Chain A
Amino acid sequence: MKVQQDLQTPSSTVVSIGRSTRSLVWTRLRKDKAAILGLILVAIIVGVAIFAPLLARLTGHTPNQLFENMRTELGLPRGPNARFWFGADQVGRDLFVRVMYGARTSLFVAVVGTSLATLIGVVVGLVAGYYRGWLDTVISRGIDVWLSLPLLLFAVGLSTVCSSSLRGCLGGLLQPGLRLVTGIIALFTWPYIARIVRGQVISLREREFVEAARAMGSSDARIMFSELLPNLMAPILVYATLTIPGNILFEAALSFLGVGVPQSTPSWGRMLSDATSGSLFTYAWWMMVYPGLFLLLTTLAFYLIGDGLRDALDPRRAVR
């Protein structure tokens, strides 16, 4: 399963920071109660995402199964009971099962979207910071412009245009559905990473080890990826972690606005959007409370880890 594989990436990047730093960071992180809480919460959410089918089996319902008996004569959903722990949604689907499966959508977007954004951001940031000159000017000015624009609105436009046909945009690269949403998120968040990486590279490139590498005749690519990149792992890890909650909220916002994932894919943002239609939430509070709580806990957990990692990697900040 893709989600499981990609979740391994953050821990494998830690390895390349180097043993001493890693153990140092881990020692500091262990003392940070908030970060530990975040780690536990993320572990729970990941567990929910992986074992969603098993959890669903406990209830005996599938995410898109319709239950006529969970709707009143007027067509309104019925609330939580012994067999439907979180109640039903507007068409009579089991909300508990959908919320569990929703963790998969959020984590998929978080992991794949953030990885893509990090990959693009690191390469662009390295190139801009290493070569400087006009290339750097163009890239950094471009990033400044890009980040000051109403990106959510651009995402709404892009998503509408690309969903107009099943073929999708960019020769099928951005196909409607989860892929489009993930692609959009990567497209809109890489500049944050690029900006951080560029800033770090600018100060690192003047250091002796880079000069030494250059004196030994290393190519630019080698200096960038074997000399500079390992030194950048710490900030990349921190900021990648800190963009995860933003990306999760971005997907939820897009789905809430009705331009995210399709109806059949369980998504917390989509569920909240269902709760709003016709002010259904004033009656069916469960449709609003449960997906929202899971969304909140997930983003909170990633922020806690991100803050903790930042403090652990930069002891000066921890004093603050």
Chain B
Amino acid sequence: MWRFVVRRLLWLVAVLLIITAITYGIFFVMAPVDPAVLFAGKQPTPQVIAEIRREFGLSKPVWQQYGLFVQHVFLGDRYGWPGLGFSFVTRASVKSQLGSRLVVTATLAFGAAFVWLILGIPIGVVSAVKQRSFVDRLAMGFALFFVSAPVFWIGLMFLWVFWFKLGIAAGTGYFGLTHYGFFTWLNHMIMPWIVLALVEAAWYARMTRGSLIEVMGEDFIRTARAKGLSETRVIVKHGLRASLLPVVTMFGMDLGLLFGGAIIVETVFNLQGIGQWAVASVSTGDLPVILAVTLVSSFAITLANVAVDVCYAFLDPRVRLQ
């Protein structure tokens, strides 16, 4: 067991290095113009460009530059740890602005994850149990609709209908829990949660349905029925438990995609999360912010993935043997 955990942690270090290599490659090596100019924001002064060149060691060979970059990220730079650089657009270190943004993104992601799990899995189960019934067809029709629909369009339509036309939901923007109180906060988070969750719930309903139907054909289900267990018990205790394994695996894999969805939902609902920050930084040319958000979110996703893996190994002994 501990060998597994140690191997996983070594793997984590390797992946973090790979991520820095990819981001470094995209932002510095592939850049068609001088990276120092790119990182200095719009209309930089020669002093700023010279400062950035020194900071990133841009006159040294590429491998030394990359080494310096990794050193900054993991050991901190002159703005502290983690070293995420300085935004020449806002004239502040990226790190100092990151915390409050992360709170918003985490609020959106965890809330949405909760909503889609309580929507997607039960719908998938009902669909699988009542296969080919009217309910199944209706649910799968809805699932197909939300899988196909662009999340930003759903977001806009929801805003138009529920906020602008009917006036039953709050508009865009994030209203902090401590500052504005619980109800204002909740009111402004409900629609983003639902919009992000609907798209994901559709995938999970489809997955759960497929997986449960497959599991219900297995021998151990027949055995459970033969023992005289009630059908509910067979489905929930035996069928669902086995069929949720691939769903849990997918949950780990999906974090990256979820983050993509979160970027769009943050943009549509103007929630000041890290995704919206990166997107807003595109038009201002604030490359350090985009780089920092890319690094931080990739690291977070990788950490979460390893955590899921380790928990999984504790729960399911088969994983450890592989």
Contact = CB atoms under 8 A, between A and B. Distances in A.
B32 A157 contact: no
Interface in B12-50: 15, 18-19, 22-23, 26-27, 30-33, 38
Interface in A281-299: 281-282, 285, 288-289, 292, 295-296, 299
Contact of B293 (A147, A153, A169, A299): A153
A161 B160 CA distance: 34
Nearest to A167: B32
Contacts of A299: 148-150
A212 interface: no
A149 B147 contact: no
Contacts of A282: 159-160, 164
A157 B294 contact: yes
Nearest to B293: A153
Interface residues of A, number: 48
B272 interface: no
Contacts of A153: 259-260, 263, 275, 278, 290, 293-294, 297-298
A295 B294 contact: no
Given A153-B294, A169-B30, A281-B160, A295 B282 contact: no
Interface stretch (A67-75, A119-127, A227-235, A254-262): A254-262
A256 B260 CA distance: 13
B301 A269 contact: no
A296 B148 CA distance: 6
A300 B141 CA distance: 11
Contacts, number: 158
Contacts of A167: 32
B268 interface: yes
A276 interface: yes
A156 B27 CA distance: 11
B102 interface: no
16 contacts: A152-B259, A152-B263, A153-B290, A156-B282, A161-B30, A161-B31, A164-B32, A168-B32, A169-B30, A170-B30, A245-B148, A253-B152, A253-B260, A253-B264, A295-B153, A320-B131
A142 B17 CA distance: 12
B18 A148 contact: no
B287 to A, nearest CB: 7
Contact of A145 (B15, B31, B144): B15
Task: Tell me which of B156, B291, B298, B302 has the highest count of chain A C-beta atoms within 10 A of its own C-beta.
Answer: B156
A168 B31 CA distance: 8
A276 B279 CA distance: 14
Interface of B: 15, 18-19, 22-23, 26-27, 30-33, 38, 131, 144-145, 147-153, 156-157, 159-160, 164, 172, 210, 213-214, 252-253, 255-257, 259-260, 263-264, 267-268, 275, 278-279, 282-283, 287, 290-291, 293-294, 297-298, 301-302, 305
* Cβ-closest 6 pairs across A and B: A152-B260, A292-B153, A165-B32, A300-B148, A150-B259, A299-B148
Nearest to B268: A276
Contacts of A276: 152, 156, 267-268
Nearest to B30: A169
Contact of A257 (B257, B264, B287): B264
B26 A258 contact: no
